[in-house]
């Protein structure tokens, strides 16, 4: 045996530990280990020792194992922690195993999907997504279109409360239209009240290639006292919570898609109810979004209030073309402002601030004739 030869070489040849390590191709700590074993127990101590633990943990009860497999069968996309959060809430009398034990159980039964870890990109100029209470910030987006079973396109509007992760709406729509989108938000405002802010991308109908990104939809939000947060172009990670929710939505409701829009909407409704009231959320310490969400104390006024500008500001009515008169000359702002009233404040000689409600839209340099967003 190689280990015994090492001992014999040490005893007969007087080799140093470093020389024995080099001769037998092992490390110096290994040489010391075998020498110590031989001195303590003789040749028998050099034999391989069993690696099994002296004390085995208690086996998982069959009933708990069956329940864990049943929950995973009903919710195939849930991981071990989410399953354990759910069972701790629904069956508090059970002694549940560790998440690693549940993961091993799912692996043995072929229920684990190994995915390559995703590196989350970070944009140095990204605006942090902050919400300290329900309705501080709603996030909204149109998920990429897909065809239902009848061949028609489905465009999914999703709206979520950033603080509680509560999904306010998941709506199958035949197109991305201004009027239909505005109607959906009006219904949400009527049901849940007004948020302080809404975060979206820069696509239609949320934004437009105009001054301050103004669209007819965002103009309506400003009139209601809602701040419109727009992520940087091409930076979806700035709305990362919403994008993550979209991946779950796609996996659980569109593969395969519904036979038609009505059946797809029924899938969305059932999924939204499960997401809000049943599915534990790890960012909420295993609680459900519905347990953390409450409606906004700001009710939706059917008629938006008129702007209240300080008396020293000069008011201007925006024409149908989107321009105002400025010292006898037209100054184009945005077509989305047609029919609205803006205000101008001369902050320096020939330098004007342009306001719409409480939003500073731009600075106008009268001498240069330049409007700077």
Which helix (H) or strand (E) segment is 371 a member of? strand 370-372
Dihedral angle of Cα 80, 82, 88, 89, to the nearest 10 degrees: -160
| Mean pLDDT for the stretch of residues 106-114 | 80
pLDDT for position 10: 83
Place of tokens 């020498």: 35
- Is 152 a residue whose pLDDT tops 90? yes
Confidence of residue 262 (pLDDT cuts 50, 70, 90): very high
- In the CATH hierarchy, which fold is given to the domain comprising 138-292? Nucleotidyltransferase; domain 5 (3.30.420)
pLDDT, residue 123, reads: 37
pLDDT over threshold 60, residue 135: yes
Higher-confidence residue of 15 and 365: namely 365
Instruction: Determine how β-strand 351-356 pairs with β-strand 359-365.
Output: antiparallel
**pTM for this model (two decimals):** 0.73
CB 142 within 8 A of CB 133: no
For residue 267, give both structure tokens: 């899938």
Confidence category of residue 120, pLDDT binned at 50, 70, 90: very low
Q: Which residues contact 134 (CB under 8 A, 6 or more apart)?
A: 161, 163, 164, 166, 292, 293, 294, 295, 296
What's the CA gap between 249 and 247, in Å, rounded? 5
Q: Is 94 exposed, middle or buried (0-12, 13-18, 19+ CB in 10 A)?
A: middle
Averaged pLDDT score across all residues of the chain: 88
Share of the chain above pLDDT 70, in %: 93
> Which two structure tokens, joined as six digits, stand for 363?
């600075």
pLDDT over 50 (residue 124): no
pLDDT tens-digit map of 190-231: 999 999 999 999 999 999 999 989 999 999 999 999 999 998
The set of residues, in sequence order, having a beta carbon less than 8 Å from that of 239 and lying 6+ positions away, is 129, 139, 141, 199, 200, 201, 231
- At 157 the three-state DSSP class reads strand
Task: Return the higher-pLDDT residue of 102 and 140.
Answer: 140
């Amino acid at each position: 045996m190689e280990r015994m030869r090492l001992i014999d070489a040490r005893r007969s040849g007087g080799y140093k530990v470093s020389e024995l390590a080099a001769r037998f191709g092992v490390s110096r700590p290994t040489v010391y280990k075998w020498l110590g074993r031989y001195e303590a127990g003789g040749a028998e101590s050099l034999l391989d020792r069993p690696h099994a633990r002296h004390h085995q943990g208690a086996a998982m009860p069959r009933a708990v194992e069956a329940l864990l497999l049943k929950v995973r069968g009903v919710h195939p996309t849930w991981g071990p922690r989410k399953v354990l959060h759910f069972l701790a809430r629904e069956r508090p009398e059970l002694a549940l195993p560790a998440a690693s034990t549940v993961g091993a159980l799912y692996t043995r039964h072929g229920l684990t999907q190994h995915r390559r870890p995703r590196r989350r990109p970070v944009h140095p100029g990204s605006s942090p997504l902050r919400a300290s209470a329900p309705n501080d910030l709603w996030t909204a987006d149109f998920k990429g279109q897909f065809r239902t079973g009848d061949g028609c396109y489905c465009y999914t509007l999703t709206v979520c409360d950033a603080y509680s992760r509560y999904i306010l709406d998941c709506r199958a729509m035949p197109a991305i239209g201004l009027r239909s989108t505005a109607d959906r938000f009006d219904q949400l405002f009527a049901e849940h009240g007004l948020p302080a802010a809404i975060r979206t991308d820069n696509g239609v109908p949320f934004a437009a290639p105009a001054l301050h990104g103004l669209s007819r939809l965002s103009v309506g939000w400003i009139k209601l006292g809602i701040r419109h947060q727009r992520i940087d172009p091409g930076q979806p990670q700035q709305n990362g919570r919403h994008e993550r929710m979209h991946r779950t939505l796609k996996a659980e409701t569109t593969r395969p898609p519904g036979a038609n829009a009505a059946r797809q909407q029924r899938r969305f409704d059932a999924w939204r109810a499960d997401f809000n009231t049943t599915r534990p959320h790890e960012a909420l310490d295993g609680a459900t979004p519905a347990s953390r969400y409450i409606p906004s104390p700001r009710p939706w006024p059917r008629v938006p209030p008129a702007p209240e500008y300080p008396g020293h500001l000069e008011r201007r009515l925006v024409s149908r073309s989107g321009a105002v008169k400025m010292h006898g000359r037209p100054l184009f702002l945005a077509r989305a402002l047609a029919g609205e009233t803006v205000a101008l404040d001369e902050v320096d000689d020939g330098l004007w601030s342009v306001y719409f409600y409480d939003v500073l839209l731009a600075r106008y340099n009268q001498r240069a004739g330049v409007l700077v967003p």
